[in-house]
Amino acid sequence: MDGSDHLAHERSKAQFDVEKMKIVWAGSLYAFQVSNQIARLVAGDPAFRKENRAVLSRKELFKNTLRKAAHAWKRITELGLSEEEASWLRFYVDELSYAYVHWGMFVPAIKGSGTEEQQNKWLPLATNMQIIGTYAQTELGHGSNVRGLETTSNFDPKTDEFIIHSPTLTSSKWWPGGLGKIATHAVVYARLITDGQDHGVHGFIVQLRSLDDHLPLPGITVGDIGMKFGSGAFNSLDNGFVRFDHVHIPRNQMLMRVSQVTREGKYVHSNVPRQLVYGAMVYVRQIIVVDASIALSRAVCIAARYSAVRRQFGSENHEISGTGVETQVIDYKTQQSRLFPLLASAYAFRFIGEWLKWLYTDLTQKLEANDFSTLPEAHACTAGLKSLTTSAAADGIEECRKLCGGHGYLSSSGLPELYAVFVPACTYEGDNIVLLLQVARFLMKTISKLPSGRNYELSGATAYMGHMEHYLIKYSCNVQKAEDWLKPNTILEAFEARAIRMCFACAQNLTKFADQSEGFSELSTDLVEAAIAHCQLIVVSKFIEKLQQNIEGNGVKQQLETLCYIYALHLIHKNSGDFLSTGSLKPKQASLANDQLRSLYAKVRPNVIALVDAFNYSDHFLGSVLGCYDGNVYPKLYEEARKDPLNDSVVADGYGEYIQPLLNQQLLNARL
């Protein structure tokens, strides 16, 4: 069989309604229909072709991206696409450009922190692309420590202006996408100073370039920070630097929804709660979690399809005689044990992204009603899950590359660029380890409020901590046979026991330090591990909750159950040391979890290709010769190789200068 036959045969094995699973993955029938329509529109437009990205120079790549971004805006306006539809179009164009930050950070910052008057002025300009914005927070010397930002904004009551200034080299804004060459405006975060008093970091709308000739305005030094990791990836985006030399802006360009500076220079708070600012942070991080599920699912789709097409080795008789059919790579147990948990993780992260979207909506409604009760938990959940999912997705993409063997290293596989595009998510919007330490602080604070030795009513993701007597004293896992691991409550209790015991151990060890900050620093590794245990519990619990919903489609729920158990049991396998050391499991129970995990691999094997088909990714979006829907991998690999610029000539450039003298033994006499 050729590759096409392989995948057709694999699809015929499906034991569930694939079309219904596509709707489950999309989130709703409406979302599926809209995304499907836009995906076809983008894939069918020759202007959005992207297969030559890896061989373009930086300047060619950047200019090509500008062309695509302009064409995308042209299509959005011509078709009268809604905001949601336009977002889908930019998503499926799948090329990082200034629009990525303009729509994802600049516009939300004005919506979240601008007054109604400021929104009425700036949003029409931004949404009609009459100005192009970026988000200038990170500095050369400070990223995660926002309080340590050095850029200043001094108010001058004589001119009714703020003076934006970069007092040191390390105060240079560094990394904002779109800043290097394109952005006309930026939301700049700087220390607000009035009458010599520092009021902390605030946001200001600053014009960077002239709207007539695009030259930097006086006092502004701006440029691109240079090549980044990967051949295409983020190199299509002009991540930039900017330094301000006493740049004057009007007072009303301070984002003043939460706090203002009066004409007389008095710093005052508005009636709008300051906590609303955190809503934007929660929003961005829940988007990143969704991005993690998409990036991982793309890699898994490529690796799964290629593993079904690729044949390697076989029986001893086959190897001796050189005849017969080799074994599909996907049938090797070592391949399954590496690939199938990543498939399960992609689905798990998709559903946790849905839950975070609900959490953000709920939080926004509460904040608007001056109810801040859920803000600390929402902040901790989005911080921790952003860290957990992005780290797992980055590692998973690299594992998928290795699962594809040598061909996975080719740019045409789509995996190197996918990795290079996604891996910065482990750093931006909060370094992953720093975020986990924030989660740990929240958990330690939660524990400190619990009455000693008694159960206590808690809600949300920390509800399990209210049952400390049960989990610290009475709990014992009741698994007796492998099948017992197919009970959701059994899995949940094991994860809850591990998380609460790790958290309480950290809390107890912290009491041994007179200086809590010293204790937190000394125990930071343990605290990070406890935070991870808490976040893994959240993902498992929300996956189980998903299974309790009314899910339509023949066999769909059964497949999701299998994936849920694979995700949970694989975590037990990978973190068995935590489960055993905390007494949450006994060695025999951990062994039974592995036995059940292996049987689940066999159960999911016939459905793997159908499960990745449910992601509904077009070949254009997937961008991989190894993951193409028709499975014709080898002809496509050969075709891509022939198209490389090095093959434009039969004899290599430089042959006459460097190779011919060598072959003729004339190199010693040649002038290089």
Q: Catalogue the active-site residues.
A: 429
Torsion sign, CA atoms 65, 70, 71, 73:
positive
Q: Could you give the CA distance from residue 553 to residue 339 in angstroms, rounded to a whole number?
A: 25
Query: If we measure between CA atoms, which residue out of 47, 65, 15 comes closest to residue 610?
Result: 15
Degrees (nearest 5) of the Cα angle 154, 156, 157?
A: 140
Residue with tokens 């590692």: 395
What whole-number distance in Å separates Cα of residue 326 and Cα of residue 312? 5
The token pair that represents 61 in the structure block = 């790549």
> Beta-carbon neighbour count of residue 433 at 10 Å?
15
Q: 361: annotated binding-site residue?
A: no
197-207 vs 185-194, strand pairing mode:
antiparallel
Q: Could you give phi then psi for residue 119, rounded to 5 degrees? A: -65, -40
CA 379, CA 150: separation in Å to the nearest integer? 25
Looking up tokens 């910065």 gives: 424
Burial letters 337-367, b for 16+ CB under 10 A, else e: ebbbbbbbbbbbbbbbbbbbbebbeebbebb
> Cα separation of 628 and 669, whole Å?
51
Judging by DSSP bridges, how do beta strands 185-194 and 152-156 pair with one another?
parallel
CB-based burial label for 235 (10 Å; 0-12, 13-18, 19+): buried
Residue 168 is labelled as binding a ligand: no
Task: Tell which phi-psi region holds residue 200, choosing left (phi > 0), alpha (psi between -120 and 50) or beta.
Answer: left
Closest CA to 94 of 75, 58, 68, 71: 68
- Find tokens 């028709």 and name the residue: 630
On whether the CB atoms of residues 579 and 555 are closer than 8 A, the answer is no
Alpha-carbon separation of residue 250 from 64, 157, 558 (angstroms): 36, 11, 61
Q: Is the dihedral of CA 606, 608, 609, 614 positive or negative?
A: positive
The answer for residues whose C-beta is within 8 angstroms of residue 518's C-beta and 6 or more apart is none
Contact 629, 7 (CB under 8 A): yes
CA 338/CA 227 separation, integer angstroms: 33
Structure tokens at 104: 């994802």
Annotated binding site for FAD: 138, 177
